Structure 1
Amino acid sequence: MELPVISNAPAATSGGCKASGCGSAPDALAHLPAEVRRKVQDHPCYSEEAHHHFARMHVAVAPACNIQCNYCNRKYDCTNESRPGVVSELLDPEQAVRKVLAVAAAIPQMSVLGIAGPGDALANPQRTFATFGELAEKAPDLKLCLSTNGLMLPQYVDEIARHNIDHVTITINCLDPEVGARIYPWIYWRNRRLRGVEAARVLIEQQQRGLEMLVARGILVKVNSVLIPGVNDTHLPAVSRAVKAKGAFLHNVMPLIAEAEHGTWYGLTGQRGPSAAELQALQDECAGDMAMMRHCRQCRADAVGLLGEDRGAEFTLDKVAALEIDYAAAMARRQEVHAALIGQMEAARAPAPALPAAGRPVLMAVAAKNGVVGEHFGHAREFLVYEASPQGVRFIGHRLAELYCGGADGCGEVAPEAILERTIAALAGCEAVLCAKIGFEPWGRLEAAGIAPNGEHALEPIEDAVRAVYREMAAAGRLAQPAPARQAA
């Protein structure tokens, strides 16, 4: 059986990069050197613009880890959680290569192959580099990415460069060992288990040294930091300044996931995660020092597809084993699709129309799909949040939601009332929600919560729709009114 080509690529009329924040400037990457722009223009994790169009895949070949984090609990054979460290199938390198080639044939927008766990890529160097080595030969058009805690990074920088891995993510949560001792119970270093401040000091030193070595070799580095209220929240702006000074390309401050059901130490001891407002405020503070990533989905270690979706169930090992794939034809198809998407994004870049000169910032949530207002309110599993102001439109982040309507069109099977309540709570701080359709019941509940539902801009590019609603609010005099009190999400 030949594997069908499954395409989620948006049509040329979908608005391209206007949906991702670049519509307010001629080129969101224009400040970067040409070589860097080339490396990130189709990377969904490194480019906010690209994440609406290009897909990524993580392969779970690295089960072991050499540090313990209080926010981590690795789970195997798990399909019900979407967070780092979770996988449904552990793979050996041969299985991983076979699966990558199958996914890349089926999803021609795929541009990136990453190894991010479920443990640490460099705590499993043989499995990691065996996978990368074979894929570099069989799918040379794919970008290779590696995520690491950084403990073993200096030892493997030369190997990373030799395998043409030109995107590396390091998780750096602190620079102060005293802070680190509250995040990392222990590390395994040189055949010894170190604990407390000593462990944190070694880890921090290795992370900083590895970052410098990668940058010296021209490898792009993204730094991830987990925002832990009361632990490292006031410390992260200093982290941002330090990693920028050492040459990191992008900083991703992401919220702590601390639900007790995940079984992490923080979750079981009551450590709370940040509210959406706290996360935005910290990201804005750090953004004064370097470029911030706001579109992170904190993906599983076996994620497949566009950011915000998980198609891993379509490519289990048993399904992949039954496929016959023309790899050369698949790669040619990928290159054709990639060129078309990049051309589409370039064509869509244009100065955006000005917004009303007087007015306050407004947050709006969007039920989005492929860069447009394309999802029914009750079918949305996440909402993208944008801020409109006289300065323009910018992407803020995303809010997770649960499926409220089970019908293919309209609201066939309606989920319990509690789900709607949780969705509305997740949209706290937003003054409008834009969606393709919305039912009578959620419409009324949103209005009662002070969130204006809007279904008038279905299938419009996101930023165009947000601008239109902002102008409507200005015409109605709503921008002259104080913003409603924002509740913690």
Structure 2
Amino acid sequence: MEEVSRHPCYSEEAHRYFARMHLPVAPACNIQCRYCNRKFDCVNESRPGVVSEVLSPEQADKKVKGVAAQLMQLSVVGIAGPGDPLANADRTFETFRKIRSSVPGVNLCLSTNGLTLLQHLDEIEELGIKHVTLTINAIDPKIGSRVYAWVVENGVRYEGKEAAELLISRQLAGLKALSERGVLCKINSVLIPGVNDAHLPEVSKAVKSLGAALHNVTPLIVAPGSQYEQEGQRAPRPKELHALQESCGREGMKIMRHCRQCRADAIGLLGQDRSADFTWENIEQAPPLNLEAREQLQTQLEEKIRQRRLRREERNGSSAEISEASSARRFVIRVAVATRGSGKVNLHFGHAREFLVYESDGQTVSLLGVRKVQSYCHGRAECNGDKEATLREIGSILKDCQILLCSGIGDHPRKQLQRAGIVPIVRSGDVEQLILESFRYSYYFQNNLFRKDDVT
């Protein structure tokens, strides 16, 4: 718990308050995934492997200091691409050494495909890198050969099943070695319908046995120009992702559900990429780094998280009676939430580019995942016009939800969502508290428990 208390990727609680920064210092990659096509200059795409510019270690260090001086809740600095950090080991570790010296106290995080991981265990331990993410999409080489086009090691190119066997053996050995050294490992797996969907529960069971702390199953994003795009490979639907996450969770593994599949140059809270705010002009004008003020704020944020947990425990006790009744009737609700972060309902429906989807039985509130959407309103005074297709798409993506919580919504989208069976409720405040209130209303109406005065 101590190791993840400030890491927004490893802790669902921390992601509401603490920020991360990805440094794009690693352009080269030693494998080719069939879903990947890295572009270094596409500012309008939000997916792994995409960056606006590749930085030198010196530039990265300067940028981290400028961001840390202004974004006081920055707690994690990671290197995740745009290629593979360990295929660019010299640049990656030089960057980490500079940051360790200039911004002490920040957590260092590394993401890798694992091909050369065994060669760098000592450097990872020496630098105090306590969090490593491994992308493992298969442990069966036959299935892996449908995910990876090729693997290159020491100038030799491997393809097909031979490539997958080499990569998988290195990944599993690297995971075991890291776990034995006390490094927390998160496993990322891309859900590819018809390829590895039935296989991922086996992956989850295997990585848990080797010491993985967290499994993050993410939906396939078919990159433009990738082999999968050319083959017509489809992305999974939300219900497929949720079912697969549930299946993996039954193997006893802790499942991450708040992943945003960030760009390799993302900055800020998860779901709030502020990389465009930190231009070089902004970095040049940054105030001096105040380490004491940073630590003070982050300690206060940890206390907020502690208080949230206490309030949740109190609510659980007061909701036990209705939860027991609802469990007997198998009554649960699913709620979509528009939020800017901090555990609050604080975003207008029209501005949301994603919705957090929760499920509640009246006592507990569980995050099921994140649903990406195209925002309904792009800032114009009149947003209805030609937005019908966008509204229908949002309704389709959220069709399993009974309620939508937001800080505001126009009359037209409100009526359209109601026709789709989704009830928009305009409220602001704590996400979990409002979901439990929504559950109580839904339960009473469903079971005809309201008196006339209650309805009024």
CA distance in 1 between counterparts of 2:157 and 2:448 reads 57
Write the deviation string for residues 385-409 of structure 1: whole angstroms up to 9, x where unpaired.
Answer: 001125621000111122222448x
User: Alpha-carbon deviation of 1:448?
Assistant: 1.1
Match of 1:255 in 2: 219
Is 410-419 or 288-297 further displaced after alignment?
410-419
The within-5 A match list for 1:255-404 is 255-258=219-222, 262-288=224-250, 289-320=252-283, 322-327=284-289, 329=290, 331-350=291-310, 351=313, 352=316, 353-354=318-319, 355-356=322-323, 357-358=325-326, 359-369=330-340, 370-390=342-362, 392-404=364-376
- Quote the RMSD (CA, aligned, Å): 1.7
SS in 1 for 2:334: strand
Instruction: Give the letter for the 1:349 counterpart.
Output: R
AA paired with 1:386? Y
- Report the CA distance between 1:190 and its aligned residue: 2.3
CA contact 2:22–2:77 (8 Å) conserved in 1: yes
Q: Residue in 2 aligned with 1:18?
A: none
Query: Residue type of the partner of 1:385?
Result: V
**CA gap 1:324/1:80 in 2 versus in 1, 3 angstroms:** closer
Q: Deviations over 1:238-261 (max 9, x none)?
A: 1101110110000000100126xx
Normalising to structure 1: TM-score of the pair? Answer: 0.86
Aligned: 1:212 with 2:172 = no
The answer (yes or no) to whether the contact 2:26–2:91 under 8 Å persists in 1 is yes
- Name the residue aligned to 2:429: 460
Report percent identity of matched pairs.
50
The corresponding residue for 1:244 is 208
Number of aligned residues: 436
Tell me what 1:437 maps to: 408
Gapped runs of 5+ residues in structure 1? Answer: 1-36, 481-489
The Cα of 1:415 is off from its aligned counterpart by 6.0
CA shift at 1:432, angstroms?
1.1
Partner of 1:111: 75
Query: Does the C-alpha gap of structure 1 residues 179 and 339 become closer, same or farther in structure 2, counting only changes over 3 Å?
Result: same
Output one character per residue of 1:191-247: Cα deviation in whole Å (capped at 9) or x when no partner. 200000000000000001100110111111000000111100111101101110110
Q: Distance in 1 between matches of 2:377 and 2:220?
A: 28
- In structure 1, the residue corresponding to 2:94 is in which secondary structure? helix
The answer to whether the 8 A contact 2:362-2:439 is kept is no
The equivalent position to 2:188 in structure 1, one of 202, 211, 224, is 224
Alpha-carbon separation, structure 1, partners of 2:288 and 2:98: 17
Which residue identity lines up with residue 293 of structure 1 in the other structure?
M
Task: Report the AA paired with residue 438 of structure 2.
Answer: V
Deviation at 1:478, TM superposition (A): 6.2
What does the per-residue CA deviation read over 1:156-214, in whole Å, with 9 as the maximum and x for residues that have no partner? 11111111111000000111000000000100012200000000000000001100110
What letter is aligned with 1:143?
N
State yes or no: 1:136 paired with 2:100. Answer: yes
Which of the residues 126, 130, 133 maps onto 1:162?
A: 126
Distance in 1 separating the partners of 2:25 and 2:378: 35
Deviation at 1:361, TM superposition (A): 2.4
Please identify, of 410-419 and 238-247, the stretch whose mean Cα deviation from structure 2 is larger: 410-419
CA shift in 2, pair 1:141/1:414, >3 Å: farther
Task: Pick one of 32, 43, 67 that aligns with 2:31.
Answer: 67
Q: 1:8 corresponds to which residue? A: none
Alignment partner, residue 45 of structure 2: 81
- Report the Cα distance in structure 2 between the residues aligned to 1:407 and 1:283, rounded to whole angstroms: 35
Match of 2:452 in 1: none
SS in 2 for 1:79: coil
For CA contacts below 8 A with separation 6 or more, give which structure has more relative contact order. 1
2:400 is matched by which residue type in structure 1? G
Residue type of the partner of 1:466? I
Q: Cα distance 1:186–1:478, how it changes in 2: closer, same or farther (>3 A)?
A: farther
CA distance in 1, matches of 2:448, 2:269: 35
AA partner of residue 225 (structure 2): G
- SS of the aligned residue for 1:39 comes to coil
Structure 2 CA distance, aligned partners of 1:79 and 1:166? 30
Q: SS in structure 1 opposite 2:368?
A: strand
Kindly state the Cα deviation for residue 317 of structure 1 after the two structures are TM-superposed: 3.0
Given that 2:8 and 2:14 are in contact with CA atoms closer than 8 Å, whether structure 1 keeps it comes out as: yes
Task: Give the partner amino acid of 1:344.
Answer: K
Q: Secondary structure at the match of 2:413?
A: helix
Distance in 2, Cα, partners of 1:73 & 1:148: 16
The residue aligned with 1:473 is 442
SS of 1:73's equivalent in the other structure is coil
| 1:381 maps to amino acid | R
Q: Is the 8 A contact 1:399 1:426 kept in 2?
A: yes
TM-score by length of 2: 0.93
Unaligned ranges ≥5, structure 2: 450-456
Residue identity matched to 2:445: A
**Residue 3 of structure 2: SS of its match in structure 1?**
helix
Q: 1:160–1:415: structure 2 CA closer, same or farther, 3 Å change rule? A: farther
C-alpha separation between the residues in 2 aligned to 1:440 and 1:50? 35
